[in-house]
Amino acid sequence: MSLHDDAVLVLKEYGDQEELRQAYLDHLQAHPDGMWKACEAGHLTASALVIDPSRGRVLLTLHKKIRMWLQMGGHCEPEDTSLKVAALREATEESGIAGLTLVTGGPVRLDRHPIPAPCHWHFDVQYAAVAPPGAVQAISDESLDLRWFAYDEVPGVADESVVRLLEATRARL
């Protein structure tokens, strides 16, 4: 199964955010290249909120380009066999934590946001990943900083999309 086909299947099975979910499906139908950065109309991305439920905290990255605290994530790569593989790869690369485990049940949220030209939109498929006990993070070259935040600190440092992702993740857990 291609990554495009996997994304369509994942989105068809996703049970929330009906209008936005349909916009993702419409985009993929209109753009066979809609999984890839080269698609100027926009493309799907995969991300994961790294969470440590036992300590009531999340790991956020200070994004190098946009200088905002965000979950780990990014573009799909040709070697990714599914959206969840892409999300887990991105979370592992950007957090430096081996042994992350995706929360069951598929994506936690969808978040479409504009990005600068030449592309127009990121259609982000957002997962959650649980950090193993004793996890130690390691900053990647894609980040200015990497830091654990208590759940109640997130609204003070991150934008609403991250806050909503945290709320949906906690509800899923």
- Where along the chain do its domains lie? 3-172
Mean pLDDT of 1-27: 97
Superfamily of the domain at 3-172: Nucleoside Triphosphate Pyrophosphohydrolase (3.90.79.10)
Taking the C-alpha atoms of residue 7 and residue 25, their distance in angstroms, rounded to an integer, is 9
Q: Which of 160, 149, 158 is nearest to 67 (CA)?
A: 158
Predicted pLDDT at 53: 97
CA distances for 136 relative to 2, 95, 146, 147, angstroms: 34, 9, 11, 11
Q: How many CB atoms lie within 10 A of CB 56?
A: 12
pTM of structure: 0.96
Residue range 52-81: mean pLDDT, rounded: 95
